[in-house]
Amino acid sequence: MKIYISKNYSPFFNLVLEEIMAKDENNNEDIIFIYQHSNAIIIGRNQNAFKEVKLDILKEEKIELYRRLSGGGAVFHDLGNINFSFITKKDEMGYQKFLKPVLEFLKTLNLNAEFKGRNDLMINGAKFSGNAQFIHKDKIVHHGTMLFDANLSKLAKVLNPSKLKIQSKGIESIRQRVTNLINELETKITVDEFINKFAIFLEQKYDAKILEIPNQYINEIEKLATLRSSEDWIFGKNPEFSIFNEEKTAGGILQISSEIKENKIQNIKFEGDFLSKLNTGEISNLLIGHNFNKESVEYVLQSIKNINDYFGNITIEEILKVMFG
């Protein structure tokens, strides 16, 4: 068994590398991969990014957004969070098989954690680890998180859904009480010490070797990272969804309803008691087919010289706020 520990802190390196290792048909050895991300939101394959994440905060705080290959809910990663992946031949065993060594390691630190629900690890009634899996051909990847000393206030700030009313066919995250393992430790250690102890435990338990990540994998990262960072992958894979939102402005009540598929606006209506001189259906026609994001919609609205004839005293800023929350 091989153990790799990444010193790169971006999901566009680590999760891309994980995918490359899982798809390497020439490797028959099991792999344990340990990594961290400095500032990232990781959403499940079947989730709606607009439903799960406050995208304006992501942009303001330069948080990376990554859509992984596995299902499950959205998670926030910073350097107080530790991630682990087991890459092995698939079998009929469930989550407990992979989480057993994690629980055994935590016992060496006098932490009595337990497996709960479908895919979580908990301690003293609070969650500190979420897990998910995906299969590629004859291999399975089990990856999980361990909150060690993460910024939980930031986690809540970026993952809480906005007030935007979205009816999505995607999977929504279930919010639970969470905790950091540092709070449960009698003898405090640093996150680096924790990772080192974890790697040594796994090395000894599985008679494994801690190795440098092969250059053959690193050389493949850039090409695949380009795909995984594309708007088509991150937002185009959103499940089909619809929105309805309304707000009272100084110019009157504005209601916006829209249907979105593959991140493209399929239908959109502007309604309310604002003083419109022209039919807003003309604006709707201009927006159909455009990407459902603030920049794309703002570009179209800014190009309309007589926009006040459609929306009265309602500003473009207010339209965007109603539309995107």
Task: Give residue limits of the domains in the chain.
Answer: 2-234, 241-324
pTM of the model: 0.83
- Name the one residue in this structure whose structure tokens are 């291999």: 139
The pLDDT, as a whole number, for residue 36 is 98
* End-to-end Cα separation, the chain, in angstroms: 48
The pLDDT, as a whole number, for residue 73 is 85
The pLDDT, as a whole number, for residue 151 is 93
pLDDT, one tens digit per residue, over 28-51 is 999 999 999 999 999 998 888 888
| Superfamily of domain 241-324 in the CATH hierarchy | CO dehydrogenase flavoprotein, C-terminal domain (3.30.390.50)
The pLDDT, as a whole number, for residue 325 is 76
User: In CATH, what is the architecture of 2-234?
Assistant: 2-Layer Sandwich (3.30)
Are 4 and 211 within 8 A, CB to CB?
A: yes
Euclidean distance between CA atoms 7 and 13, whole angstroms = 10
Largest CA distance in the chain: 76
Strand (E) positions, the chain? 2-5, 31-35, 39-43, 64-67, 75-78, 81-89, 114-116, 120-123, 126-136, 139-147, 166-168, 209-211, 241-249, 252-261, 264-272
Q: Are 2-234 and 241-324 in the same CATH fold?
A: no
Residues of the chain predicted below pLDDT 70: 92-93, 160-176
- Which alpha helices (DSSP H) does 37-94 contain, by range? 49-52, 55-60
The pLDDT, as a whole number, for residue 164 is 56
The pLDDT, as a whole number, for residue 287 is 97
